[in-house]
Amino acid sequence: MSERHIGVDEAGRGPAIGPLVVCALSIPKEDRGILNNIGVDDSKNLSKIRRESIHAEIVSISKLRGWEIGLIHCDAGKIDRWMEFGTLNTLEVMLFAEAITKATEITSKFTLFLDACDVDAERFGRNVSSALGKRSNGFKIISKHRMDSTDAITGAASIIAKVNRDLAIDKLSKELGVDLGSGYPSDMKSKTAIEDLCREEIPNDCLRRKWSNVERAWMMHHRKPIPPREFGKFRRAQSALDEWN
């Protein structure tokens, strides 16, 4: 069986609204050229129309060539739950491992290309390896910052994650009757949406309650801290890196 390469990236780490989406794309090593031919790049360097066009091509080619896509949506509630005791970095470690698991077969040989979110890129790779457990024994892991701008497979994963994150936000906007924008603090549409949603008696489920701009907006309208989510009993989240070793 030929070696496969897996690129992993996320979309929606910083926004105060909606899900964090992680994608792992697994393809045969020899298919790398196909991604270059269809114009794959870091999703941030592409227009919305171009991202969606390339995404459609990737999905179509995947069906013909046996590429595997592991897609994970982590909604605002799950993010808030993790942030009770953990960090965004440790959350992404677990989500990257989950996406990789969805995109692989145990019998295959892989090289993983990770767009590292930790300031220590190699540490991020070690933690993803630890989260994968015994499955990682046959994997080679390359973990770097901005991998999506230098590696075609990771760039393709960034496109898939971004397009699916955008689709999720569009769906939420239609359901709520509010233009949520991108969710980022610098987006005026998102800022207005957060203000409007924080006027309600109960914080909307799409809001990340642990984000400071959401907490400020809620405090301004209600003169009291934003109420925590009710999770019931749950296992303590991982709170620091390198704790799987």
Q: What SS3 class is residue 93? A: helix
Asked whether 100 and 64 are in contact (CB, 8 A), the reply is no
Average pLDDT, the chain: 91
Torsion of CA 120, 124, 126, 128, to 10 degrees: 180
Work out the number of other CB atoms within 10 angstroms of the CB of residue 45.
Answer: 12
DSSP characters over 110-156 = EEEEEE--SSSHHHHHHHHHHHHGGGGGGEEEEEETTHHHH-HHHHH
61-114 pLDDT per residue, tens = 999 999 999 999 999 999 999 999 899 999 999 999 999 999 987 556 889 999
* Cβ within 8 Å of residue 46, ≥6 positions away: 54, 159
Please tell me the distance from the alpha carbon of residue 111 to that of residue 79, in angstroms, as a whole number.
Answer: 28
206-219 pLDDT per residue, tens = 999 999 999 999 99
Query: What is the set of domains in the chain, with CATH numbers?
Result: 4-169 (3.30.420.10), 177-222 (1.10.10)
What pLDDT, on the 0 to 100 scale, is given for residue 107? 56
pLDDT in tens, the chain (245 residues): 578 999 999 999 999 999 999 999 999 999 999 999 999 999 999 999 999 999 999 999 999 999 999 999 999 999 999 999 899 999 999 999 999 999 987 556 889 999 999 999 999 999 999 999 877 777 899 999 999 999 999 999 999 999 999 999 999 999 999 999 999 989 999 999 999 999 999 999 999 999 999 999 999 999 999 998 876 554 444 434 444 33
Q: In what order do the strands lie in the sheet with 4-11?
A: 68-74, 20-28, 4-11, 110-115, 139-144
pTM (2 d.p.) = 0.92
Asked whether 76 and 119 are in contact (CB, 8 A), the reply is no
